[in-house]
Structure 1
Amino acid sequence: MHVGHSKCNMEEEDPLNSIPDTSTYYLRCSQPGPPKKVTDSCSIVKRSSKRPHYYSLYTIALFWTTLICLIAAAGGLERNGEYQRYDGWFNNLANPEWGSVGSRLHRDVPSNYQDGVYRLASNLPSARAISDLVFRGQVVAYEIMQSTQISCPLEVHKIPVPRCDPVFDLQCEGKTEIPFIRAKYDKTTGHGLNSPREQVNDRTSWIDASFLYSTQEPWVAALRSFENGTLLEGPMPGYPPFNNPHIPLINPPPPQIHRLMNPERLFILGDPRINENPGLLSFGLILYRWHNINAKKLQKEYPSWTDEDLFQGARRIVISTLQNIILYEFLPALLAINPSQIPSYEGYKPHVPPGISHSFATTAFRFPHSLVPPGLLLRKRNSKCEFREEDIVQEYSVDEIVLGMASQIAEAEDNVVVEDLRVSLSRYYLCFSLFINFLDFIFGPMHFTRLDVVSISIMRGRDNGILPTTNSAKASICLQKLGKPSILRNTSMFNQLAELYGSIDRLDAYVGGMLETNGSGPGELFTRIIFDQFLRLRDSDRFWFENKQNGFLTDEEQKKIRNINLREIIKQTTSIENDELQKDVFFWLKGDPCPQPFQVNTTNLEPCVPFMRFDHFTGNEVTYIFTVIALATIPLICIGIGYLLIQKRKKMGMIFEPGVRSLKKPCASQKVNLKDEMDYTRQIIAKDMKFSLPAIEWLNEAFCRSVIVELDTHLAVLKILKRPHVVRLTVTRKASRSVNGPFVVVSVPKNYDMVLRLQNESQWLQFRCALGNCLIKHGKLIKEVEAENDVLLEAAETKDKRQEKLDHFFREHTPGLNQPKLSDANSEFNSYVSEQVMHMTLTKSEFADALGMQPKDLFVQRMFSCMSLNGGQNIDSVCFQEFLTVLKRLHKVL
């Protein structure tokens, strides 16, 4: 055994089990305050060095899966009756939102924003300059880790590119900047020093197979066949369907064609990024087949189970095996430790926070960047261990990808990140298509086709407020400070870093952590962060497969899960024979079957499409011209609409008096002579003609409508003619004096008041003259009262107010005749109002509406005949008192 880079005094046996429980979960020193010596409270994870080994690509494939979903969880078996939610809620019953979709990241180290709240540090060097200095390599690769969590509205920060950058600034202009979009965050944070910005996780924190099943019920429904608990199969046997439902999968434009492609060419599984590369897709297909295999086994074992029971049972098995593989196979392989060094499971601990920590998401779990090779080898299934030639591949199989990944060796564990990860996330996808003619992918947007993943990783740490200095991060979790001897053997690079940052103590946590890597797994900082994160995920998960309290698995079933490894699942889900795979698929050791013929490097790859920006004009000249024409016609369209509205308002009588039968139509340039108009009105009355004018009827504080007021001077009848389909909402406030035009309230005893708004004083004088002369002609009197508009409207007995009183008396007096208890004891109407209503007239229409009938119904006609004092048949209205009298008589008879 050999010890890591810390100088802490440690024993040689079981170092992981010696980590105190509190320091494991919270990454803090076990003693309060800063220790005098790191050895006082520091624990170190040791690594095994018994034999030389090489990471196979399965280490990277499972890293991809773990990174994308972190990883999935799901429901239980029938005996328990509880199914784990897809969105991660209610795993922890005391804190149901812990680990759910959209929950905050766990703040394991103090935040360090420039203003203490949300601003990025502006006194740190350019992330691109650091990438050029520290992470420059000689081979081509790509980076799978893509952050799709962007804030809304977008917050774009620009990364300065050094002058004459060989990729982004070929013209040596010194003006190029790489766009960086800040991550999605909890909008309730970032408003003060006590509440710094907290980013959120769009996936569940639990290891719950959301990578396969998704986190949304509708998405899951699109994946299911709803037959025998299986997942839906597409036209190709053993493969999921293509994206015909148009599920929102990530579908970036391939760089070689620089345009979007049909999304129906993509397979659908639970994560939108599943089609990003064949290695990731092949692992998803293995889990997809593993689910269906277990669903069919459960159907044979439990024939009475429903489709839902079978689906959730198979899902539980997939989750359990995935949990076992990740924690007890993948984690030791990634950290280069023995599986026995993982602490034994002690049971469910609901007090442990499961959230993905900021330092894990933005720094430590980006360590496998240095392991990614520039391409993927495909291995044929034969005894000769033949590998496909890249230039003759026209089709592929999952078996060939799986065998190739088992044999191919990853890149060395160091601070070197292959050039395509640094200069183009798109290059790998284009070059990868030379190996596999399947799908083309790209990370950079169309307007900026290349991105530097190292620069993005550095900026992501700053965006999340991670302590900008590696030494600060190490001190917060009780590790020895970073120094020149412990990270760099390149004196020139050390000096350049010190010059770039101003001091080596200001080194970004991601940069310092990557520089600690020495070829035997990640360094101290990343090891501690990764180790802590996965232990917290295990111990805080109520649905963990080893938790005996949840009742999902028996002891025997748990033992079976512990005996299932990734190699066994590959054998059951593919046609690969037992002797074609090594015993540990995460490593390739000397003597394992089919060594790779060569280490893939840039000499085996053709040049890729260079960095491009999208020109929105080229190729769209015709569209651009028509767009300009369309924009130019918008003002004309607006003018036309305005003209039509004016004409419509004229027809409604809301602007000018129309050429009606009574009034002269004044010219627009002619001043109206009030004397002439009044004389004309008197002539109409003298000749027994009909006088009419447009007005607005005010119904209540919210509504009014356009009407025609018509006065028949011969019959002394005032009619209000409603304009069909002309009802509008008014914004007139109650008791407002800003109402346009005079209001007129026509009040007739025993009837409701008619409230009219006229256009101007001239109309009011004409209306008063016509109405007054007409009433005098027929021997009637008119009483005129003048008041302010708001007072007038408040006092008006409108139809709505009258209906309210009628409804009250129908409800109050009618039941009171026989059952007084049904009367409204909390009446808000006094005796004076009651007396008024008793003498109020009731029309046939109002009476019919109260009974839910039509005015022409026989019952309504007979009732009005009974209520008429003279017994007439043509009566149109009666007094409310007469109505009550008839009801009393009927009550006595019955």
Structure 2
Amino acid sequence: MTKDTTHRSSEYILPSFEELNAEPDNDPPGDGDEDGEDEDDEGAEKKGGKWNFLSSSSSSSSSSSEEIKIGQEFPLLLDEFLDRCRERSSKENVCYLTGDERLNEHPWLASHHVVLIREHNRVARRLSDMHPHWDDERLFQETRRIVTAIFQSITYRDYLPRIVGKRILERIDLVVGAKGSGGGGSYNASVNPSSMSVFSTAAFRYLHTLIEGQIQIQGEGRCPIKTYDLSDIQYYATLLEKPEFLTSAFRGMTNQPAQSADTFVTKEVTNKLSKIKKPFGQDLVSIDIQRGRDHGLPSYNDMREMCGLSRAKDFHHFQDVMSEKSIMQLKSLYRSANDVDLIVGGSLEDHCVDGDHSSLVGPTFGCIIAEQFFRWRSGDRYFFDHAEGPGKFTKAQLKAIMKVTLSSLLCENLEDLEYMQADAFSIISKRFLISA
């Protein structure tokens, strides 16, 4: 096990980093392509590659101040149509130019980029008023630093615990701001922050099970205005620019429950993925399984052993983390316990990580996801809550950053939003609405 005896947070969860190949594309979370076609990954590489670090950089198309103008409400349109965007509309450009063009897969992905761009501009205006002598590039870089910190804070504090539970994060010192407003993390140069294939090709893709196939836009009273089939609005990101659509979309996203985390996935992505105007499309689950084989991922049995579970000598030994019914299903599909694909075996595990039953994943996926987020934090010397380093914030700045929530971001950047629940990740309750 790789250790640094000085800092507990520099210890890897997994026994051997070298045994796990880094993802060639280095996808940040949330940016995995859902259509599974190589052309999308190649296109992203040609535009400069993807990011090793967890940042808001994918909301802009480069690190230049020329890419985001103060007052800009939506991303720039692509100069040239993507093939899928052209399939959607040959008459008008319906896709955006950002750091990762795959935001165009559907408007709900693009909507988060829009909010980050608006937050960037809001912060930039404040900084410009405070520092009128700063040039555009200084203003851009300082703003990006703040918005990235907000993005990291919300992801680690509010989102990640819902996926893997709180116990494993506490055990590996992955709770941001845990040591107060002075910062809780520390940079470790020996930690490789690259994205692991087992994370971006298997563990995080299990969360495709949460996708809701019929998505709503809602009014201020949280009553549905219209319901869309997900497959009908793929590659139509500029739908967000219709009057009041963006705000109505976020009302729906923060009020409509996601699908359950289980072995079932909506037909909108198993039968109709990227169908555009065709009668049927691709199967995302099949793509996920095949991609794992193409990447040469370790088997489920290999990874569960690396994560501290006993190695199964036969299917019966999987009963420590899954039901007898799931084991029988695996026996009917695989010849040996060693043949089970990582994404298949991990998807069948009971949801419990370090004894925490609030997680949405089982112990193997929980181990992989926590490991990846640990690396993104400890391997990034600019991570927002590091107590020392070139990107260090003051205590007052950290305190202000930690106050920002997804709900407050929406309230600040959606003009026609009147109310939002205090926690945008939780189902709405009239008792906990806050005024914008």
TM over 0.5: yes
Distance 1:511 1:399 in 2: 37
Give 2:295's aligned residue: 464
Give 2:306's aligned residue: 476
Partner SS, residue 122 of structure 2: helix
Inter-CA distance 457–541: structure 2 relative to 1 (3 Å threshold): same
Deviations 1:411-457 (A, max 9, x none): 11111122232223135xxxxxxxxxxxxx58xxx8x9622111111
Partner SS, residue 273 of structure 1: helix
Partner SS, residue 103 of structure 2: coil
Deviation at 1:494, TM superposition (A): 3.5
Question: Contact 2:53–2:376 at 8 Å: present in 1 too?
Answer: yes
Partner SS, residue 426 of structure 1: coil
Equivalenced residue count is 380
Give 1:581's aligned residue: 420
Deviation at 1:369, TM superposition (A): 1.0
> Does residue 296 in structure 1 map to residue 125 in structure 2?
yes
> Does residue 362 in structure 1 map to residue 362 in structure 2?
no
Once the two structures are superposed, the pairs formed by residues 256-295 of structure 1 within 5 Å of their partners are: 261-262=90-91, 264-295=93-124
Relative to the length of structure 1, the TM-score reads 0.39
Inter-CA distance 503–564: structure 2 relative to 1 (3 Å threshold): same
When you count helix as a share of all residues, which structure comes out higher? 2
Deviations 1:371-400 (A, max 9, x none): 11112111112xx43321449x98652111
> Does residue 503 in structure 1 map to residue 392 in structure 2?
no
Give 1:514's aligned residue: 347
Coordinate RMSD, CA, aligned = 3.3
> Does residue 530 in structure 1 map to residue 419 in structure 2?
no
Once the two structures are superposed, the pairs formed by residues 476-495 of structure 1 within 5 Å of their partners are: 476-481=306-311, 483-486=317-320, 488-489=322-323, 491=325, 494-495=327-328
> Does residue 211 in structure 1 map to residue 29 in structure 2?
no
Inter-CA distance 496–300: structure 2 relative to 1 (3 Å threshold): closer
Question: Contact 2:382–2:391 at 8 Å: present in 1 too?
Answer: no
Deviations 1:527-570 (A, max 9, x none): 01000101111111111112332155222112211111111111
Matching residue within 299, 321, 327 for 2:156: 327
Distance 1:338 1:279 in 2: 31
Give 1:712's aligned residue: none
Matching residue within 131, 141, 153 for 1:312: 141
Partner SS, residue 377 of structure 1: strand
Distance 2:214 2:98 in 1: 24
Q: Partner letter of residue 465 of structure 1? A: G
| More contact order relative to length (CA 8 Å, sep ≥ 6) | 2
Distance 1:472 1:501 in 2: 15
Partner SS, residue 397 of structure 2: helix
Runs of 5+ unmatched residues, structure 1? 1-18, 31-63, 70-143, 152-182, 185-200, 428-440, 595-894
Give 2:258's aligned residue: 410
Distance 1:28 1:281 in 2: 37
Inter-CA distance 487–263: structure 2 relative to 1 (3 Å threshold): farther
Give 1:353's aligned residue: 192
Distance 2:429 2:395 in 1: 37
Inter-CA distance 474–395: structure 2 relative to 1 (3 Å threshold): same
Distance 1:355 1:543 in 2: 15
Q: Partner letter of residue 163 of structure 2? A: L
Give 1:67's aligned residue: 30
Distance 1:68 1:307 in 2: 28
Once the two structures are superposed, the pairs formed by residues 316-715 of structure 1 within 5 Å of their partners are: 316-337=145-166, 341=170, 342-343=174-175, 344=178, 345-381=184-220, 384-390=221-227, 396-426=244-274, 441=276, 450-468=281-299, 470-481=300-311, 483-486=317-320, 488-489=322-323, 491=325, 494-518=327-351, 520-547=359-386, 548-550=388-390, 552-575=392-415, 580-588=419-427
Deviation at 1:474, TM superposition (A): 1.0
Matching residue within 46, 64, 67 for 1:223: 67
Question: Contact 2:381–2:391 at 8 Å: present in 1 too?
Answer: no
Deviation at 1:522, TM superposition (A): 0.4
Question: Contact 1:414–1:517 at 8 Å: present in 2 too?
Answer: no
The percent identity for this pair of structures is: 25
Which protein has the larger Cα radius of gyration, Structure 1 or Structure 2? Answer: 1
Distance 2:244 2:391 in 1: 43
Distance 2:345 2:145 in 1: 40
Deviation at 1:488, TM superposition (A): 4.7
Question: Contact 2:322–2:350 at 8 Å: present in 1 too?
Answer: no
Q: Partner letter of residue 514 of structure 1? A: S
Inter-CA distance 203–420: structure 2 relative to 1 (3 Å threshold): same
Distance 2:304 2:126 in 1: 49
Deviation at 1:349, TM superposition (A): 0.9
Runs of 5+ unmatched residues, structure 2? 1-6, 18-26, 43-47, 179-183, 229-238, 352-357
Inter-CA distance 396–338: structure 2 relative to 1 (3 Å threshold): farther
Question: Contact 1:329–1:339 at 8 Å: present in 2 too?
Answer: no
